[in-house]
Amino acid sequence: FTVQNIFINLSDFSSPVVTTAKPLPPKPSIAANGPITFCADTNVVLTSSALQANSYLWSTGSNIQNVKINTSGSYTVKTISSQGCTSPVSDAVRIVVNPLPPTPTIVANGPTTFCADTNVVLTSSLQSAIAYRWSTGAANKNITVKTQGAYTVRTIDGNNCFSLNSTAVNVKVNPLPATPALFSTKDSVFCDGDNTV
């Protein structure tokens, strides 16, 4: 360039300035290592496709290539090249995290300590569940218990999400006393007027 003074005199040309346009990194994409709709007791790992990036800028604020997600939302990533250029933002990945069903409680229809010739019925408090999973493996909303142990139940909702385990109900089964035997001091067949102990 040149400059002009008030007398309309032009200076010599300045030294040239060389400019270089650095290319932008390509727009990254996001890959998920599993389903992007899941229950709140799990997560998904999102990975940027730009393997050679110098650094990453996720919408979460993370700056590594992989992020572990367990919250609903839309997630994007940009990459930064070794020359400091930032890529266009990726397409968003929408994550849906379904809440877990409420934790059930167990209701017993009688005492949970009883003799071995009886039982107790345990029922899940959540009657509207789609399915049930007892610690015994049973899938009904109630179970009949005849053996000693700690029993829990989980419920399953329409999103196939499992609740947390209920508080355990401890069942104690007392053994029956030994069957008694009768012994006679004399023959058990005797004449009228005689007796035996």
Give the burial string for 161-172 (b: 16+ CB within 10 Å, else e): bebeebeebebe
| pLDDT > 60? residue 4 | no
pLDDT score for 98 = 97
Give the burial string for 98-132 (b: 16+ CB within 10 Å, else e): eebbeebebeeeeebebeeeebbebbbebeebeeb
| pLDDT > 60? residue 10 | no
Model pTM? 0.71
| pLDDT > 70? residue 8 | no
pLDDT score for 151 = 98
pLDDT tens for residues 177-186?
888 887 777 7
pLDDT tens for residues 111-131?
999 999 999 999 999 888 999
Query: Distances in Å between the alpha carbon of 44 and those of 21, 63, 64, 68, 160?
Result: 38, 17, 15, 6, 17
pLDDT score for 11 = 52
pLDDT tens for residues 133-161?
999 999 999 999 999 999 999 999 999 99
pLDDT score for 72 = 97
Least confident segment among 23-27, 91-95, 111-115, 160-164: 23-27
| pLDDT > 80? residue 97 | yes
Query: What percentage of the chain reaches a pLDDT higher than 90?
Result: 68
